[in-house]
Amino acid sequence: MVSRLVEKGERAGAGTGLVVFCVISAAFNTASAHAQDLSGLPTQLLEKVEAAQQACSDFENGQFALELGSIHRIDLDGDIQRGWVLDEAGFACSTAVSLYCGTGGCMSHFLVEEHLFSLLNQGWDMANISPLRVLLADVHGSQCGGINPTPCVVASVWDSDEMVWRSTGAE
């Protein structure tokens, strides 16, 4: 009976060790998943990340994290070249849950060539409406004469001649 208890105790200890190992491994893998490589990030977007880091640090000495998936490379203007998008929805601060986003959504920064366009939104996607590449963004319902949950979308296209995003106002 004693040897059976020892066997069970050893197995429980080995199982506990395995669980601890798995938890530690998951913690390291999660930490690395929250860090995103910033090498090659254009200066204008790097400045946005640095400002967000500083804001977090200034708020009760918070720790900033840039979640995986915050940086996108996607064709924004239909030229087949991938532009840059930085989504503040992927910014996190240990001392402030809503430092970067609010009821209006989060800022997304779209960089075409050297031109930066920032938009407060609750989600975005790109669509092709031949021959245009169209940025579709879910925005706060107040932009459509409603309140936050009122469905409202803005569509924008890149005008490569004038180097600006063009949109119509919602009515």
Instruction: Quick: pLDDT tens for 21-48.
Output: 333 333 333 333 345 678 889 999 999 9
Beta strands in the chain (DSSP E): 64-66, 71-74, 83-87, 91-93, 101-102, 105-112, 115-121, 124-129, 132-138, 153-159, 164-167
User: Over 60: is that where the pLDDT of 124 sits?
Assistant: yes
b vs e for 53-91, b when ≥16 Cβ sit within 10 Å of the residue's Cβ?
bebbeeeeebebbbeeebbbeeebbbeeeebbbbbbbbb
pLDDT at 41: 95
- Any idea what DSSP says for residue 76? S
User: Over 50: is that where the pLDDT of 150 sits?
Assistant: yes
> Structure pTM?
0.76
Find out whether 53 and 38 touch, Cβ atoms under 8 Å. Answer: no
Mean pLDDT for 137-143 is 94
pLDDT at 39: 81
